[in-house]
Structure 1
Amino acid sequence: MESSKFHIEVDVRILSDQGVLIFIGKTTSGFVCLSLLNGLLELRLHSGKHRVSSTLPLIVRSSKLLVKGIWNKVKFGLFGRKLYLSVDNIINTGVLEVGQMVSISSENVFIGGLPDMSEFPLAAGSGLPIHYTGCIRHLYINDNNVPLTPENVRTARNVVSCNGTPCGGETCLNGGDLLAGFPHCSCVPPYYGDKCEIVPDCDEKMCKNQGRCYNSRCSCNVGWSGAFCEKEIVVKTPEFVGTSYLIIEKGREKKRDLGDLKVTKIYLNFTTVKHDSLLMWSKKDKDFIGIGIEKGLLKLSYSSSQINKTVVEIPFYYILSDDQKLLDTQAKQDNILENITISTDGVFYIGGLPKNKKLMEETNGLFPQAFEGCIEGFGTNADIIRNFGHYEGTNVTPLEQSHENGRMVRSAHDVITTL
């Protein structure tokens, strides 16, 4: 799994108050373990930097009590330094130490316990290690469905069907229906497969709501999601996936000539999982201003015809972390004029650039990678945007959709750049 993020979803129906649900990693080094103790879920993460016996894991406990025989939606994972556990949209979080790296092998995913529970690390649970008793279905690892069928299971014992249907707990996906009396799914076109799990490669005609086919997958505009951009969604706090962007046109918002638009401050509230990326870019002719991240540090780059050079400022004292921060960066450096003017066409690209603009070329190599994370707010002067549902963009999903508000917003980075 990636060192900076992973996300796992699963439905559980407990029949006992104690047991190990999911264990990923190695028993002697890095691991993530979801276990049950007295009806409460507990998530433990060991970074893998040191041996398990020498360091303590990060622990997040759920505040939602599970009831026997009732299905619950469980989501957990890592986003940057934020470890989160969500049970039916009730979220609890923890934070890794600054600079702590995570290394977890995902070669094996153990469900319900280890084959030999005597090898279970003491640091991975609070009580005595015992196998899980209950039902599990709809397992997703990093948004990839992992059906609990013989094709995906290496070894197992004492496992039976929970619901007794011909298809078992792994029901038909993508709107498909189970054929009455038969272990087969009737799929909604264009999905196909035994459980309607296969999404065909797209073409331009298949992508709906002005979506575009890119690398055989539909790239959806803001407000739409799904394999073919067929699902309408509400985007307030947007999540960027490394191929996303938003366009904020300040001149159009003001409904007046761009000549009247004067920007003196730029505000960003964000969370990132990458050490290098572009947050914001605006350009007119040879003038530009860009804000991003380089090696985990905030980076401000700008150029103006008044100074006839490009200035790159990286405040080394400011390391991005998950604590509340406020940075006020003055556009001045030694012999650079203080009150400079940077021309802009009023268009601000957030998180990346459209496909017809190459990031390396457009930013003169200053920001080679698009943003991956979430942005809670962007603004110029005193006008701050917190609802991004009405702006142009692509591959932007709401934070609430994928992780139910469990990631970051309250402990994001506040950045104010004063021009």
Structure 2
Amino acid sequence: MILIKSYNIVQYCTTIQFILLFNYWMIDGTIHNADPQLPFEAAFQGECRKSSPCHQLCFDLHDGTFECACHESYQLDLNGYSCLKSNHSTVPFVDADTFRISSTISTTSTSRPIDPIDTINNDDEIKLKNHHHHGTMSNSNNGINNDGNIDINSIGPERNQFYSCNEVECEAGGVCIEEGNDGKDIHDDNERNDEIKRARCRCPLGRGGQFCQKIIEVKYPHFRGTSYSALPTLRNAHRSLRLMIEFKSQSFDGVLLYSGQEPDLGGDFIAIVLNQGFVEFRFDCGMGEGIIRSDMPIILNAWNTLNIYRDGRNAWMQLNQGQQIFGHSKGLFSRITFRLETFLGGSPNISQIVQRVHTNRGFHGCVRTLQINERNYDFSRDTIDGIDIDQCTSDACYHTTCLNGGHCALSDDNQKICICPLGFTGEYCEMQTEFLIPSFNGSSHLQFIGFGDRSTMFTEIIIVIKPNKPDGLFLYNGQKMDRTGDFISLNLVNGFVEFRFDLGSGAAVIRSPSPILLHNWHTIYAARTGREGILKVDYQPYSMGMSLGAFTQLSLPLNLYIGGVPNLRDIHQNVQSPEMFGGCIQKVIINGRQLSLVRDVLSGLNIENCQHICTGNERPCRNSGICEPVKSHYQCHCVNNYIGAHCEQGTGSSTLYPMFYGNSFLKYSDSELIEKISGYKTIIHLNLRAFSSNGLILWLGDVSRQQQSKKHDYLAIGLDQGHLNININLGSGDYHLTFNVTRIDDGQWHELDLVRTAKQIFVRIDHNVAVRGMINGDKSRLDVMNSLYLGGLEDTSIQSSHLYQKGFIGCISNMTLDDNYYVDIVQQSERGINIRTCI
């Protein structure tokens, strides 16, 4: 028997019984759809009268009941009595404690059965796609994407069934609030009485569901902008503090975290605030506030990593891959007294702290990691109080079939991916491909061209690994095959990282201070200059050592091996590694050049693809975007005309003001365009808005690997310490010109004019005095055949010969070449990566 709870439809209609007539039949307790074409119906016992709950039309039926209907261009809501505009859609509410519809209900858009985990916040609401009822349900506005996945940005108040707190009774101390379309409480706002309202319950910590009737455990909290959670008061943080937080924001503004001395943040305090997309770290040691602002905005609806370090009155902050921004508080005091709890996501009384944090909004989004002074917080155990907190979740591996031996798994951010065997990729491992992140099983290796004569006096290695066992050799390059001669190696010994090198007269052995954790990603830095070596693992202290003897040069003519070697008996005897590496290697950088573990490899054995979201079946980067692994996370590099954290948004021709993020670029190869600024004359006009003090703005010249070590014509425009810099070579040597009249890294729009006629060059910013120069040498032509880059290069540091370490962070608009040739910056580009719209 199907039991359906009865609710009062309106406050004055307490005796009307609400009967839902589902066209389902039951076998063995499972509800099945008898005819998917028949509509959902709702009937009320009694007769039509003035006090009936119907909003528009009412019809008496022959069996002593009546039903509601709607005028043309309206549709009947699934509560049976409300009428909504036809472009609205709602989702039926069925109390999960009363009965559950089995996952055999059919839909018209997909054969994928309904998954209970599709619910994002209220797990007692059942999500149906295109389910029939009186009227029509919009296929594009129901919070479910075409692929059947929940779009967290499209799930809004339309899901709620209640429009007044008179209809809602919250359990377990929950409080009903009435919200507008923006999610703000409008219960006491007379100016917004005409706005469509939705009623819902704000639930205390540990409670969830439509009426706070469910006991929930929150592993990764989701905050609504009206939420907060309280963590224990900080200890041993008065003098110094190191903080790391990973968060995904659905809004550009809000309080992310704060703590301090007084409830109104009078006196000492710290606060992390989102302000118009930028992160601000505010702190006061008692004599005046210090504010540090990120050099780039957050990426909305994507995971961002924020690192903060404070030592006394000095502090620095780094957002994602941006710069470390330094600052200090006022006065001489250097300690902060913490008496409050550490509040995450908002405040129990945000109006009380608004004068300090300069916003009246809480954080809207998810937090998955919080680490303060080496303490990793477990949100399910460490949270002592909170309001309006629910679980941040997403679609999971239900009914997903991976082909060719692949299997489905959940990534760190709860996304389903198919883990494919070597040689296969695609959403379901259906396509053949090469590996992206190699995984080594103890009998594996990859072979590359060795160091050769590039590292005789200096060697620098950066490598990112995730070991699954405590011992193993993961990098080796030698001079001979008879276990003698020079060598360099990195290996694990009982969990410790060892850096060894021998210049011919005795090996240096440098060991990390502490062992590393298995099954975690680690960054290892090893370098040598002559006989002196240095090793640093993650945040551990530096270790230093020196090779024996008097030799200072390293000779390594053999090939480089990553992850292991063909035979341990052929390596130098002083390596002393009894086994090879087991685990994953994500990145290898040798002397500033990153190895492509796919394209640069000469040979390999027993290599599998490491489990990572970038190598799974459901590629997170859409529309041909490139997925770059960043330890256990990833970053999408979007091709031209696509933006977004997953390259999911097409820009068309609307991106008139593109924004660059330091790892972005636009490339132009059109011969007509290149001819406008090459030869004897170069005229460039553009507007720019810089959010960082350093970075490459424009590059004109060849960037092929064959040309990187040769002198060739080029023009580079960039920022150095906030000042505009021009580097140019007409074939007679490099020439450098700095516009030091004013800094332009203030986040404001500035006009740039550059004019070159033969060897004379003229640069002006806005209406300031122009800076002029004379290019050295006897050449007067800028001979460039192709390749104009805007915002950076594909590998800025290498391809610019280390003139710039990263690309431009900011916006560029209104670019004109040769006086009157207007460039449609995005549309005319041949290729682009990581281009977004200027904020």
Q: TM-score, normalised by structure 2?
A: 0.31
Which has the greater radius of gyration?
2
2:344 is the alignment partner of 1:110: yes
2:365 is the alignment partner of 1:138: yes
In the alignment, which of 735, 757, 763 is matched to residue 311 of structure 1?
735
Instruction: Render the CA deviation track for 1:287-344: whole Å, top value 9, x for unaligned.
Output: 1100001112111110113xx1211111222211244544445615368589943222
Q: Distance in 1 between matches of 2:646 and 2:290?
A: 45
Q: Distance in 1 between matches of 2:386 and 2:690?
A: 42
In the alignment, which of 375, 381, 394 is matched to residue 812 of structure 2?
375
How do 1:325-404 residues align onto structure 2 when only pairs under 5 Å count? 325-329=750-754, 331=761, 332-333=772-773, 336=776, 340-354=780-794, 358-381=795-818, 382-399=820-837
Aligned-pair CA distance for 1:151: 4.0
Aligned-pair CA distance for 1:278: 0.7
CA contact (8 A) 2:730 2:783 kept: yes
User: Structure 1's 326 and 192: CA in aligned 2 closer, same or farther, altered over 3 A?
Assistant: same
Q: Distance in 1 between matches of 2:641 and 2:663?
A: 16
Match of 1:222 in 2: 640
Instruction: Render the CA deviation track for 1:223-256: whole Å, top value 9, x for unaligned.
Output: 23567756544444322223221102342559xx
CA contact (8 A) 1:304 1:340 kept: yes
Match of 1:276 in 2: 694
Match of 1:238 in 2: 658
CA contact (8 A) 1:250 1:346 kept: yes
User: Structure 1's 187 and 384: CA in aligned 2 closer, same or farther, altered over 3 A?
Assistant: farther
Match of 2:715 in 1: 289
User: Structure 1's 152 and 54: CA in aligned 2 closer, same or farther, altered over 3 A?
Assistant: same
Match of 1:22 in 2: 255
Q: Distance in 1 between matches of 2:659 and 2:614?
A: 23
CA contact (8 A) 1:360 1:366 kept: yes
Q: Distance in 2 between matches of 1:259 and 1:125?
A: 47
CA contact (8 A) 2:685 2:752 kept: no
CA contact (8 A) 1:246 1:393 kept: yes
Structure 1 gaps, min length 5: 1-8, 36-40, 59-77, 84-99, 143-148, 162-167, 178-183, 400-404, 408-419
Q: Distance in 1 between matches of 2:363 and 2:790?
A: 39
Q: Which amino acid aligns with 2:806?
A: Q
User: Structure 1's 309 and 270: CA in aligned 2 closer, same or farther, altered over 3 A?
Assistant: same
Aligned-pair CA distance for 1:102: 5.3
Q: Distance in 2 between matches of 1:227 and 1:126?
A: 26
CA contact (8 A) 1:280 1:291 kept: yes
Moved more, 214-223 or 241-250: 214-223
Aligned-pair CA distance for 1:150: 7.8
Structure 2 gaps, min length 5: 1-152, 157-181, 190-225, 229-253, 261-267, 299-324, 330-335, 370-376, 403-407, 418-611, 703-710, 756-760, 762-771
SS at match of 1:271: strand
User: Structure 1's 57 and 280: CA in aligned 2 closer, same or farther, altered over 3 A?
Assistant: closer
Instruction: Render the CA deviation track for 1:371-400: whole Å, top value 9, x for unaligned.
Output: 22332343322223345145233432322x
Q: Distance in 2 between matches of 1:226 and 1:45?
A: 23
CA contact (8 A) 2:664 2:835 kept: no
Q: Which has the higher contact order (CA 8 A, sep 6+)?
A: 1
CA contact (8 A) 2:679 2:783 kept: no
Q: Distance in 1 between matches of 2:779 and 2:412?
A: 65
User: Structure 1's 194 and 346: CA in aligned 2 closer, same or farther, altered over 3 A?
Assistant: closer
Among all aligned residue pairs of Structure 1 and Structure 2, give the percentage whose two residues are the same amino acid: 15
Q: TM-score, normalised by structure 1?
A: 0.56
Q: Distance in 2 between matches of 1:303 and 1:373?
A: 26
Q: Which amino acid aligns with 1:267?
A: H
2:271 is the alignment partner of 1:31: yes
Match of 1:13 in 2: 183
Q: Distance in 1 between matches of 2:814 and 2:368?
A: 29
CA contact (8 A) 2:274 2:280 kept: no
Q: Distance in 2 between matches of 1:374 and 1:323?
A: 10
Q: Which amino acid aligns with 1:350?
A: L
In the alignment, which of 298, 320, 324 is matched to residue 724 of structure 2?
298
